[in-house]
Structure 1
């Protein structure tokens, strides 16, 4: 399976006990199976594993929310353009930014490993870059959650919304 390339920029607060490059690659592969429009080696995604202050500033600037959040996604192409992607030239799908402190707190509250929670947030961010949006209605939210759950199941990660893998 061809998958997009996730290029990482990792703030030192994230540490090196987890192989973030491998986690990103396996997340991209599993997502591309369920969302074949992104099954191209030419697709690039910038992933920034940031600290809370950086995400707080981005959230304030781009979403007018004065607090950090777990994940932000910044698409660079419209969802309808996904069908026109080929492997002849690189295409930047967008940027995903995760906040370390928020992710750590959420993982602890959910009693899940940081790697599993970060994987879920990467999947969530990738789906946003592909045009999925849980904030447009209940039907869309349920569809996005079901897709996230299928992708995470491929990675051996339990359903973050309640069911077990």
Structure 2
């Protein structure tokens, strides 16, 4: 099963990301979640690494929350397209946006490397695309945390 994970840097971020914020790490973290949680069919996920200003605007426009956030997930739960998909091709799961500025700040706050925070937020966003939601209550939040930590262990970034 080959998942497709496409990571894009927002305009102007090329060469500006702090050390350790590697797009390949995003791919590895999401792939770990998809292998563990996504079932047998190949899936496609798009990821945008951006800054606080951009994610703030998206959070305001799409969630009605006028503040920056660390990660947003946009699951493909809309109406069926008029285009015919390839029967054996991957299913488009959705998109994730991550603020690299929140990654750096939260890594410092939690006392771990920015690379771990980036991978963690990538896994968190992928779990949202798969239907998990920590806001449903403490049991779902604990389940998400366990899945996130399993993904971190799978890619060699345990606590």
Same fold, judged at TM 0.5 (above) = yes
Structure with more relative contact order (C-alpha pairs < 8 Å, separation 6 or more): 2
The interval holding the TM-score normalised by the smaller chain is 0.7 to 0.9
Q: Distance in 2 between matches of 1:19 and 1:102?
A: 12
Deviation at 1:140, TM superposition (A): 0.8
- The answer for the alignment partner of 1:114 in structure 2 is 114
Q: Normalising by structure 2, what TM-score?
A: 0.83
Aligned length: 149
Quote the RMSD (CA, aligned, Å). 2.2
- Tell me the distance in 2 between the aligned counterparts of 1:102 and 1:146: 22
Structure 1, unmatched stretches of 5+, are 79-85, 160-165
Q: Deviations over 1:19-70 (max 9, x none)?
A: 7342133223321332142x544x2111000011110001011111111000
Against the structure 1 CA distance between its residues 126 and 20, is the aligned structure 2 distance closer, same or farther, given a 3 Å change threshold? same
Counterpart in the other structure of 1:10:
9
Q: How far apart are 1:15 and its partner, in Å? A: 2.2
Mapped contact 1:3–1:29 kept (Cα < 8 A): no
Q: Tell whether the 8 Å contact from 2:6 to 2:27 is kept in structure 1 after alignment.
A: no
- The corresponding residue for 1:137 is 137
